[in-house]
Amino acid sequence: MIKHIVFFKLSPEIPLENREVLLNRMKEIYSLLGEKLDYIKDYRTGINFNMEAHAWDFVIDSVFLNRNDLKRYQDSDEHMEAIRKGSQIEKIKAVIDYEF
């Protein structure tokens, strides 16, 4: 099994009053992937409620049967479309993929 986790942190220049709207938009964009691609074993997204400076803002936490299914997900039209839509939101990301 493969665990694929992606953390996003919104740009610090984004005003506090806009953050909730943008994070909800990210949830709308990325949450759909778990419903559209049936080879994903588990798929969750979440908005962080921890406001510490070192905390990240949004997560995608997913599980795939193998590396081929992860690659299939990453190359899928649905994933590429989500990336395109999400690219309009200023952010940085961190990724970890591991076998368990």
Per-residue pLDDT tens for 54-73? 999 999 999 999 999 999 99
Measured distance CA(93)–CA(91) in Å, rounded: 7
The pLDDT of residue 53 is: 87
Instruction: Say how many C-beta atoms besides its own lie within 10 A of residue 73's C-beta.
Output: 19
67 half-sphere exposure, CB direction, 13 A CA radius: 4
Could you report how far apart the first and last alpha carbons of the chain are, in Å?
Answer: 6
- The packing angle between helices 77-86 and 67-75, to 10°, is 60
Per-residue pLDDT tens for 20-65? 999 999 999 999 999 999 999 999 999 999 989 899 999 999 999 9
The pLDDT of residue 97 is: 98
The pLDDT of residue 81 is: 97
pLDDT value at 16 more than 90: no
Hunting for tokens 């994070």 — which residue is that? 23
pTM, two decimal places = 0.93
